[in-house]
Structure 1
Amino acid sequence: MKNLRNIPKIYVGTYWMYNSGSLFGKWFVLSDYADAEELYKDCYEYHRNEFLPELMFQDWECIPGFLISKCSLHEDTFRYFETVSEMDDQRAEAFELYCSNIISWPANGNDLDETLEGFNEAYQGYYGGAMKDPKTEFAYQYIEDIGLLERVPQMLERYFDYEAFGRDMFLGDYSEYDGHIFLDM
């Protein structure tokens, strides 16, 4: 995990303790474990004073909601964090947005590899720079990349409405989330 402030962790108690009026539990840092099996083993060991403890995830930090609930951790959670640890912070943020807002992974049934492949095809980049409008900023970059106005005289080029062009691009071909641009597929 690159950023020490953003380490995924879970506060694990049990339903029995909770129903008895106690929040007794412990924070478990996911990066201390190789996989979910190892994490669960340690959780059960910590709560060994109960007969067949039913684990309850009472709180968590830096874990996307699509990977966790009060009683379970998605099987690909560790692979997800391994995948995003290889990305820079902006790309990792975009991947989380893609999973949660665009394709509803893992609820959509795709595996993580398919999801990552789709993300790599759809993600166009982060456009939250000086312009303050990601759609217009993307329009400028897009027009430059494809050379749309290369043969237009410079005198006429300044009349081109980049803002309107950018707005139209997002009527069906692209989506924007917090400055991250995705190709609609």
Structure 2
Amino acid sequence: MTDNTPKIYVACLASYNAGILHGDWIDLDGSETIEDRISEILDASPEEDAEEWAVHDHEFCGHLSEYAGTDTLNAIKEAFEKVEAEGIDWEVFCEYCAHLGHDIEAGQVEMFSEAYAGTADTLEHWCMDFLEETGQLDSIPENLRFYFDYAAFARDMEISDVFTIQHNGDTLVFWNR
């Protein structure tokens, strides 16, 4: 488990409606099922027949409805596990989802992996490497390559082809899909 493990606070609504704060934090990692943890919280409720619950807080990026179901919570858990397994920084993944205006859901790790184009100091440096690696400058004579405007190319790429996320001093580049 890392320091940035997504967490939710699940509250027992029977207790809440009786004026009692009863609930607990659940780490959305692989240690146990969300359904089992929610059952434990409800079983420990000071109110009899506690059946309903709500997410009253969460510690990860994005919006989460207090009435998010276990399908949504399991999708977030699955995304976190995949991100961890692929060595992706969870904060970067969250920034990616926020940039797209999406809440975290199933399938987004694959979208992230497909869209990730690389990291560089700046988008201009990424463009230099991209053009070199793809051979797109090969048709320009070497003595004229010094006149190529990488800054303008980077600006144009960002207008329609890529977007960037700044993280820990690096520029992460993603394809617009």
TM range (shorter): 0.7 to 0.9
Give the aligned partner of residue 156 of structure 2. 168
Q: 1:141 to 1:32 in 2, by over 3 A?
A: closer
Gap regions ≥5 residues in structure 1? none
Cα deviation per residue 1:28-58 (whole Å; 9 max; x = unaligned)? 3333643322222222223263423432322
SS at match of 2:83: helix
Give the aligned partner of residue 55 of structure 2. 57
- TM-score, scaled to structure 1: 0.72
Amino acid of the structure 2 residue aligned with 1:87: E
Give the aligned partner of residue 138 of structure 1. 126
Gap regions ≥5 residues in structure 2? none
Give the aligned partner of residue 65 of structure 2. 69
**1:162 Cα deviation from its structure 2 partner:** 0.9
Aligned-residue Cα RMSD (Å) equals: 2.9
**1:60 Cα deviation from its structure 2 partner:** 2.0
- TM-score, scaled to structure 2: 0.75
Q: Which has the higher strand share?
A: 2
Cα deviation per residue 1:75-123 (whole Å; 9 max; x = unaligned)? 4122112111112244x4443344343273567xxx52xx443333221
State how far apart, in whole Å, the 1-side matches of 2:12 and 2:53 are.
4
SS at match of 1:149: coil
Give the aligned partner of residue 36 of structure 1. 34
Q: What does residue range 18-167 of structure 1 map to in structure 2 within 5 Å? A: 18-31=16-29, 33-47=31-45, 49-61=47-59, 63-66=60-63, 68-72=64-68, 73=70, 74=72, 75-90=74-89, 92-102=90-100, 104=102, 111-112=106-107, 115-127=108-120, 129=121, 134-150=122-138, 152-167=140-155
Between the aligned residues of both structures, percent identity stands at: 29
SS at match of 2:159: coil
State how far apart, in whole Å, the 2-side matches of 1:19 and 1:52 are.
11
State how far apart, in whole Å, the 1-side matches of 2:103 and 2:7 are.
21
Q: 1:38 to 1:125 in 2, by over 3 A?
A: farther
Give the aligned partner of residue 180 of structure 1. 172
Amino acid of the structure 2 residue aligned with 1:184: N
State how far apart, in whole Å, the 1-side matches of 2:91 and 2:27 are.
20
8 A Cα contact 2:13 2:53, kept in partner: yes
Structure 1 residue 15 corresponds to structure 2 residue 13: yes
State how far apart, in whole Å, the 2-side matches of 1:10 and 1:118 are.
24
SS at match of 1:76: helix
Amino acid of the structure 2 residue aligned with 1:76: A
State how far apart, in whole Å, the 2-side matches of 1:28 and 1:8 are.
9
